[in-house]
Amino acid sequence: MLNNKRVAVVTGASGGIGKAIVNRLIEDGHFVIGLDQSETIIQFMEECGGAYEIVDISNPKAVEACFYSIISNNKRIEILVNNASIVNNISATAKMEVEKWQREINVNLNGTFYCTKLALIEMMKQRWGRIINMSSTAALGGLDRQPAYSASKAGIIGLTKNVALEYGEFGITSNAILPGLINTENVKKMPEQIKDGVIQLTPAKRLGLPEEIASLVSFLASDKASFINGAQIPVDGGAHLNPVTLARMK
């Protein structure tokens, strides 16, 4: 166990990376509340010993009600992991449907902002907090036919840095993790030629594991990471060092 038991909120908790994060934080001894818009979160959180809230984080009023419930029941929020995200449309920028662009930005970027804003209010009272945002290496180099995803993930990096600048004096850290291609259930469904191409361009010569993302979340959430603030950390086996990445895979 890395530190004392704290209250942690994880959005997108029913996905592959989300589940790994929840399991790791519980293993570290924290009390974890998983947020998701899917009812599949219920069984998972009950089995792993955490709590849950069903919420669409793109709806600011729903997020406000959700966080009010969490604070009422737990009196505090000390760790926030903004993990929820969607890919709403695969389309070239000129052909991207406005409604689908807006939905992706609303979930990935606006949802991260709504949760962060409310968590900060509580963390400032405590003068301690950890905000860990899931961005993507797509924020650095783009992603073919996924402009909304790339833009939303780049926006998350900007938000991460602003929070670090504004709230570091309150003992709050804000950092972004930039996963590469991680071997989740959704990635397993991708065409083999795309996955093989990414692996060949990755110095580690393999895909990442959800547990590897969770390990970094665990560290950033701990007291040992108290002087890491405003960082953007790629977890991609070194793929960001290659000028040809997933952004060019079609």
Residue 1 near residue 23 (C-beta atoms within 8 A): no
The DSSP code for 117 is H
Largest CA distance in the chain: 51
Residue 91 near residue 97 (C-beta atoms within 8 A): yes
| 149 included as an active-site residue | yes
Residue type for 235, please? Answer: V
Phi/psi at 155 (5° precision): -60, -35
Residue 208 near residue 234 (C-beta atoms within 8 A): no
Of the residues 52, 68, 114, 149, only one is catalytic, namely 149
Closest CA to 79 of 171, 156, 153, 158: 171
Residue with tokens 């920028």: 93
Active site residues: 149
